[in-house]
């Protein structure tokens, strides 16, 4: 009988190989979650527009079936390099002229000192959104003071301005996120929606079910109902978890689309300084839901300008 003896080095190598596979496996920390399949997306969307769009009488409704069904991967040249056939209106607004759109969406982007990323974002997003044949406007809310960056407060400011312009749907969007799948319509669903659940930075997995940031679609009425974001989260972290907790407190469920529709790419950027008080604010947040948010928002608007590709709101927080 022939026997083979394996040296300890072979066992060590095998153990190392197993460990590396486990470490590199994309789904090892992924959180499983329910999602809306592609064929059900359109039925979950709320067909609502601003009054000026509703009053238009220019023919048939826009058809979205092909955009959703094909779900083209658009994040590539030439769409990332320059605006193609620029017909964006002043202020970064667009709506198709050959059909009546079913959705009006305000894309709100908090911003400070990321000019290169903003340029990339505007070029790609206008190429992306116009192909969806929706009515939209991009608002860039810039913090114009040396205080720690207050992303949540900028979202609140942008939301109030957009709602003042009658936008029924808000997309709260970081400037460094790019949607890859065209079938993910930038419109509000019946439930607030976490849009970027399949992000390349997380190896296209969802780290935890309560993650509710980066790109979020929420009806203006729902955002008002939860009193928006807390204004206390300066620096990095905590405000998205607090918003999710506010929705839970009102027993408002969130939703996500299928990962095939929710793929996003994150642009490289310098990390913001973490908010050392964020865990404390999260812990006692429930005490402030009704007093800290849209109804307590204080800021100074120092500029408002309609640029070719966006509506620019300059504020001191």
Domain coverage including residue 116: 35-316
Q: How confident is the model at residue 16 (pLDDT cuts 50, 70, 90)?
A: low
Q: Output the CA torsion sign for 87, 116, 265, 237.
A: negative
- Looking at the domain assignment, is residue 7 inside a domain? no
The per-residue pLDDT of the chain, averaged, comes to 91
Do 84 and 127 form a contact (C-beta atoms < 8 A)?
yes
What is the DSSP code string of 62-100?
PP-HHHHHH--B--STTTTTS-SS--PBTTTEE--SSSB
pLDDT at 30 over 60: no
Our count of domains for the chain comes to: 1
Our CA dihedral for 307, 224, 271, 82, rounded to 10 degrees, sits at -30
The reply to whether 22 falls in a domain is no
Given this model, what pLDDT does residue 314 score?
98
Confidence band (pLDDT; 50, 70, 90) for 11? low
CA distance 67 to 131: 8
Residue 28 lies in a domain: no
Q: Flag whether 8 is in a domain.
A: no
pLDDT at position 63: 97
180-237 pLDDT, tens digit per residue, is 999 999 999 999 999 999 999 998 999 988 899 999 999 999 999 999 999 999 888 8
Q: Enumerate residues 6+ apart whose C-beta is below 8 A from 287.
A: none
Residue 222 is assigned to a structural domain of this protein: yes
pLDDT of residue 5: 55
The mean pLDDT of 270-283, rounded to a whole number, is 80
* Average pLDDT score over residue span 66-81: 96
Q: What's residue 32's pLDDT?
A: 78
Contacts for 56 with CB less than 8 Å, ≥ 6 apart: 100
Give the separation between CA 317 and CA 314, rounded to whole angstroms.
10
CATH of the domain at 121: 3.90.550.10
Alpha-helical segments (H) within 29-186: 41-44, 51-54, 65-70, 115-130, 151-164
Q: pLDDT value at position 7?
A: 59
Tokens, residue 220 = 């203006």
Please state the pTM of the whole predicted model: 0.89
Q: Confirm whether 110 is domain-assigned.
A: yes
Domain-embedded: residue 153: yes
107-145 CB burial, b ≥16 within 10 A, e <16: bbbbbbebeebbebbbbbbbbbbbebbbbbbbbbbbbee
Look-up: residue for tokens 């808000």? Answer: 170
Assigned domain for 3 exists: no
């Amino acid at each position: 009988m022939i026997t083979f003896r394996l040296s300890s080095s072979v066992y060590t190598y095998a153990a190392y190989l197993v460990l590396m596979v486990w470490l590199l496996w994309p789904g090892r920390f992924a959180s499983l979650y329910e999602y809306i399949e592609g064929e059900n997306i359109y039925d979950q969307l709320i067909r609502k527009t601003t009054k000026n769009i509703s009053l238009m009488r220019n023919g048939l409704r826009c058809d979205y079936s092909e955009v959703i069904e094909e779900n083209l991967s658009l994040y590539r040249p030439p769409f990332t390099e320059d605006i193609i056939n620029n017909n964006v209106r002043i202020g970064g607004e667009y709506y198709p002229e050959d059909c009546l759109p079913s959705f009006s969406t305000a894309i709100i982007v908090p911003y400070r000192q990321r000019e290169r990323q903003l340029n990339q974002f505007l070029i790609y997003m206008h190429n992306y959104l116009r192909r969806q044949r929706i009515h939209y406007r991009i608002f860039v809310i810039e913090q114009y003071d040396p205080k720690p960056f207050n992303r949540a407060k900028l979202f609140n400011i942008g939301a109030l301005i957009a709602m003042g312009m009658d936008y029924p749907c808000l997309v709260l969007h970081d400037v460094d996120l790019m949607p890859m799948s065209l079938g993910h319509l930038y419109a509000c669903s019946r439930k607030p929606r976490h849009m970027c659940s399949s992000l390349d930075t997380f190896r296209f997995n969802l780290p935890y079910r309560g993650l509710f940031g980066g790109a979020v679609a929420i009806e203006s009425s729902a955002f008002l109902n939860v009193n928006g974001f807390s204004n206390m989260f300066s620096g990095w972290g905590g405000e998205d978890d607090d918003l999710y907790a506010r929705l839970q407190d009102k027993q408002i469920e969130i939703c996500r689309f299928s990962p095939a529709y929710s793929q996003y790419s994150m642009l490289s950027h310098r990390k913001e300084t973490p908010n050392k008080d964020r865990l404390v604010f999260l812990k006692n947040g429930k005490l402030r839901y009704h007093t800290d948010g849209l109804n307590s928002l204080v800021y100074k608007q120092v500029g408002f300008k309609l640029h070719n590709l966006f509506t620019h709101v300059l504020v001191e927080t």
